[in-house]
Amino acid sequence: MRTQKRQYSRSHANRGQLFENLIDMTNNQYRNNNFADIRKVPSPVKILKVTGNKVDGKLESATWVDYSGIYRGQAIIFDAKETKQKRFPLNNLTDDQYRLLRSWHYMGAKAFLLVCFRIEGKNEPEIYYLKFEQLETAWTAQNNGGAKSIPLQFFRDHCTRIKSGIYTVHYLEAVGGASC
């Protein structure tokens, strides 16, 4: 496995926030309809100093993924990633996140990525469901000298595109053929 040291700048602080807000809205709809219970996992924060009711802290590196929960009696775990490129850079996922998805996948959970492409000049983003098996193939290839990203065309040809409908971002339709 490759080791990865990450540094985040303020410009990346809200990257993907709109996409995550849409997923949060969807998860609330799922819960309200007793369809699934999937929750956002808070980002880990290291507390540096507490003064009265003011807390100073910093975000720690991502070791967990964005969402986990239950759907049709099965554990679900996934991360939401967004890119403005016509490819998904695999280094958008940390080694720890990949290992977590891998572990849960091999323990029987539905593990996957939701990848949102916001291409300049297009009004609507393209959102895709990337199965763990597809991620694993790309991850292994990159670690053996292969491509460091997955092109948008791969998603168009081999992944389920997630659309809005009765639910804001109805990703469970791709996960388990959900119809509501």
Give residues with Cβ within 8 angstroms of 122, minimum separation 6.
none
Is 37 annotated as belonging to a binding site?
no
Is 66 annotated as belonging to a binding site?
yes
Q: At what angle do helices 132-143 and 95-106 cross, to 10 degrees?
A: 130
CB 157 within 8 A of CB 128: no
CB 57 within 8 A of CB 48: yes
CB 25 within 8 A of CB 40: no
Is 24 annotated as belonging to a binding site?
no
User: Per the structure block, which two tokens stand in for 129?
Assistant: 């469901």
Helix (H, G, I), strand (E, B) or coil at 101: helix
Q: Which residues are annotated as a binding site for Mg(2+)?
A: 66, 79, 97
Binding-site positions read: 66, 79, 97
